[in-house]
Amino acid sequence: MSVYEIIFKLALACILGAMIGLERESLNRPAGLRTYTLVCVGSALAMIVSIDIYMQYYQTVNADPGRIAAQVISGIGFLGAGTIMREGASVRGLTTAAGLWVVACIGLAVGAGLYIPAVATTILILFVLIYFIRFEQFFTGMREYKGLVIVVEDRPGQVGNIGSILGDMGVLIKNIQLTHLENEDNLEVELLVELPSGIKISDVIEELSSMKELKSIDRLN
């Protein structure tokens, strides 16, 4: 493998990784332009090294050029896990983590000389990231999840009252957790709700505030 070919591969990996990273950076995601670029270039370099080692020693030892590449994919799992964050009742960063994994695969493809698949995958990923969210909004509506912590007097039927108010507004309860506050004789209700189109979390809080036994209500996210 010539020096010019190695430089071309690293440069192409840098460009492709930066293209996807720029889209993530524009949305202020945990991993952005620099992270995606580094992952893509590093993956390409790992594949280049793996192929070079194989070409040098395949006649004398039982070398497998796929071993280093396989470890790259495993290592990206740890990096991707660092981009996944729990904010209140919601989880964010899954798309960013998946994007890092795909970018690593693109880098490996460039390092292996599979330029057309690498470029085609980059274009496809950009299309998914930019336009698929619009498809989601069109076909299913934009689902918005919010978390609430409600403290009410510990009386029979309190959870049912909360459910009735939310049901009248078209708000779906996705998860609920009840905690009895012994020292205060109150009930803490932690909710993860799905808001329909046109309903804001402030509207939900305003409706729930009409409950007579309500002690407090706070947002989780």
The tens digit of pLDDT for each residue in 129-161 reads 888 877 766 665 556 778 888 888 888 888 888
User: 86 versus 99: which is more confidently predicted?
Assistant: 99
Pick the last residue of a domain from 111, 139, 167.
139
Do 135 and 199 lie in a common domain?
Answer: no
The residue type at 168: D
- Average pLDDT over all residues of the chain: 81
Q: Residues of the chain with pLDDT > 90: what percent?
A: 22
Q: Are 25 and 33 in contact (CB under 8 A)?
A: yes
Do 110 and 198 lie in a common domain?
Answer: no
| Tokens matching residue 189 | 């209700």
Do 62 and 86 lie in a common domain?
Answer: yes
Pick the last residue of a domain from 139, 155, 186.
139
Q: Cα 95 from chain centroid?
A: 3
Quick: pLDDT tens for 47-84: 998 888 877 766 666 766 667 777 887 788 777 666 66
- The most distant pair of C-alpha atoms in the chain lies apart, rounded to whole Å, by 82
Q: Residue 86's domain spans which residues? A: 3-139
Do 167 and 115 lie in a common domain?
Answer: no
Q: Residues of the chain with pLDDT > 70: what percent?
A: 83
Number of domains composing the chain? 2
Confidence of residue 85 (pLDDT cuts 50, 70, 90): low
